[in-house]
Chain A
């Protein structure tokens, strides 16, 4: 079972709650996904439309809230949002996002590390959103991050795991869980991340903007389960040759006659 900072999750699919047509649709999609962890953002109350209330929509006894710091452009803004989020949610869990570039929303590695160091000191359980940089992932782990969340491709692009090579290195090296976040546009992308050995994936846009978000949530649920199962079962390597490993054929082998017995 997936364990982050001592909390167990039977579902390895995290769902973002943005971009849904309504709170009701979001709630139904989250339920269909089987997810036990959803991300939420903090915003000023829109005084002209004060009744859109996500806290009421979801059953928090079953679903863990992971507040994010979306909108923060530097470490200081992220820390301020984190403190508000802690008071508002009653949880010290945090998805740390620091995105200074409004076009790509790519995360700032320097301020993400800076904010992580501070927030860990302040008692937060920090899950930083990062570019798929293995050394940054290790530095964040050393700074006390509870998991790392490398992106598959820039947020909202639906391009899938364009960073596969780097994500694989992160998975291989990290002591903390690796949650692939952003860019997952189809259930097959989610399955691929899970087959690679990711501990979980976070999906938002692909579910929220689907023709039928509730059915799409179910499709992602199945894909994540299948991908994890395949990873645990042990995948074979795709091979161009029919059977390169049989001793009679294949590569040139060195002469081992020097070995005595």
Chain B
């Protein structure tokens, strides 16, 4: 199935969780916050957040800023 992650189309396997996506992108989940279809998902819930075809996922973290 296909999702949109940070604006880019990505293919993921069926029954993938948000955590699976993060790991496949080689990201450290501790430092992330996610939005799935506009709803905030906190890091501890990444494993139980299952992805559906067509989901829009935003992975967000802190960067340098003034």
Judge whether A67 is part of the interface by a CB distance below 8 angstroms: yes
| Contact status of A19 and B64, CB under 8 A, knowing A47-B5, A47-B8, A50-B26 | yes
Contact of B66 with A18 in the complex, beta carbons under 8 Å: yes
Tell which of B31, B32, B42, B65 has the most Cβ of chain A within 10 Å. Answer: B65
A39 touches B31 (CB 8 A): no
| B26 in contact with A42 (CB, 8 Å) | no
B60 beta carbon closer than 8 Å to chain A: yes
Cβ of A43 and Cβ of B66 under 8 Å apart?
A: no
List 15 interface pairs A-B (beta carbons < 8 Å), by A numbering: A16-B66, A40-B62, A41-B63, A41-B66, A42-B65, A44-B60, A45-B25, A45-B60, A47-B25, A51-B26, A54-B61, A54-B63, A88-B31, A155-B66, A182-B66
A19 with B66: in contact, given A44-B58, A45-B61, A88-B60 (CB under 8 Å)?
yes
- For the complex, what is the distance from the CA of A50 to the CA of B30, rounded to whole Å? 14
Are the C-beta atoms of B33 and A87 separated by less than 8 Å?
yes
Q: Mark B21-37, 1 if CB is under 8 A from A, else 0.
A: 00001111011110100
Report B17-55 CB contacts with A as 1/0, cut-off 8 Å: 000000001111011110100001010000000000000
Chain A's interface size range is 35 or more
Q: How far is the CA of A40 from the CA of B66 in the complex (A)?
A: 6
A84 to B60, CA, bound (A): 8
Residues of B within 8 A of A65 (CB): 62
Contacts of B59 in A (CB 8 A): 44-45, 47
The 10 residue pairs across chains A and B that have the minimum distance between CB atoms: A41-B65, A16-B66, A204-B66, A88-B33, A17-B64, A55-B31, A18-B64, A40-B62, A45-B59, A18-B65
Contacts of B63 in A (CB 8 A): 18, 40-43, 52, 54
Question: How far apart are the CA atoms of A67 and B25 in the complex, in Å?
Answer: 25
Least CB distance, A73 to chain B, in whole angstroms:
16
Chain A residue with Cβ nearest B59? A45
